[in-house]
Amino acid sequence: MKIKCEYCKSMINDYLEDCPYCGAPNKNVNRTSKEIPESIEELVVYCNSHNIPIDKFRFFIGEDYRGPKAYGIYKDGQRTIVYKNKANGQRAIRYDGTDEKYAVNEIYQKLQQEMNSYKAFRANKGQGIKNNNKSKQTGKNGRKIFKKLFIICVIFLGVIYFILNTPLKDGVHYSYDGINYYFDTFYWFIYEKETDNYKKIKDSEVPQHLIQQAAKDIPEKGGKHYIFNDEEYYYDDSYWYIYDIDDDSYTYIDDYDLPSDLIENPEDYYSYTEEYIDSSSSSYDDDSWDSDDDWGSDWDDSDWDYDYDSDWDSDW
């Protein structure tokens, strides 16, 4: 079962003693989770059936391994010993007693922790845990990835350039001194007959009176709507407009053409304020973390990332 880490709020398995993301202890650890082996023999079967590469994780099940960097469990008569050999070869005993079930659970929990830590390590490097077709020619793959990213960037920049230099449809046209101007509410353009296209220009190239006129012709968003004698008016904090709800269009109106009572007592005719709500949302859902025990049936050495290493300095 998945539970939330009390510290980093990540979703983790309830049987883990520590969070694989932040390392915080799991105060609600469930030591009776299903499928947990209860003997060394069952643990061996479990690892084989799930195809867990315990040799890569440096786990020695049923073996008193004396080399450095090792986790292990073995039996000595009636006693079951769980140990860790640090990087310097020093051994730290996790458990030494007659409760084999408890001892197996200790090494099992550590194995699960290491598996999740490895998956997090691979995820942070942007690699798939089950990428069975990974090529060993990392340099060649790196160049391919760089080439693809370069092409994507070029296409992206081209699209951005096209968008910025292509006028939007909901704008206004003006003709002055033989030149056709177009304002799309963001940028100014002039129409070129030779190319039958619009060319983006700077605001400084636009006659000032056209800029002032555009400010009137295109209302700012977020203004207030008013109803007066069944006519809908709109005020954007600068100018007044008559609003046609059927066409969703605005027509500028001078103040002296407005009803005097609307100007003097606008709140008596207030209808609503335009609100723009960003309904976009993002979520993260990674199903690849739901099956921590399934390592696939075709694991091979090429899948292993040898940059990964456990913490061999601590006692456990």
For residue 289, the model assigns a pLDDT of 39
- Position 111 in a domain: yes
For residue 19, the model assigns a pLDDT of 82
For residue 4, the model assigns a pLDDT of 85
List the chain pLDDT tens, one digit each, 316 residues. Answer: 678 888 888 888 777 777 877 888 888 877 655 568 999 999 999 999 888 999 999 999 999 999 999 999 999 999 999 999 999 999 999 999 999 999 999 999 999 889 888 888 888 776 544 454 555 556 667 777 888 888 888 888 877 766 665 665 567 788 888 898 988 777 888 888 888 888 888 889 999 888 888 877 777 777 888 899 888 888 888 889 888 777 777 888 888 889 989 888 888 888 766 553 333 333 334 444 344 445 544 444 556 777 888 889 888 8
- Position 83 in a domain: yes
How many CB atoms within 10 Å of residue 152? Answer: 10
Domain that holds residue 262: 219-279
Query: Strand pairing partners for 224?
Result: 235, 273
Domain count, the chain: 2
Q: Which of 128, 155, 171 delimits the end of a domain?
A: 128
115-151 b/e (C-beta count within 10 Å ≥ 16 → b):
bbbbbbbbeeeeeebeeeebeeeeeeeeeeeeeeeee
Q: Which of 106, 128, 150 delimits the end of a domain?
A: 128
- Position 53 in a domain: yes
For residue 287, the model assigns a pLDDT of 43
- Position 314 in a domain: no
pTM over 0.85: no
- Position 122 in a domain: yes
For residue 168, the model assigns a pLDDT of 58
- Position 88 in a domain: yes
The SS3 call for residue 41 is helix
Max distance between CA atoms of the chain, in angstroms, equals 104
Tokens 């499928």: give the residue: 35
Q: Which of 105, 128, 151 delimits the end of a domain?
A: 128
- Position 245 in a domain: yes
- Position 84 in a domain: yes
What distance in Å separates the CA atoms of residue 316 and residue 313, rounded to the nearest whole number? Answer: 8
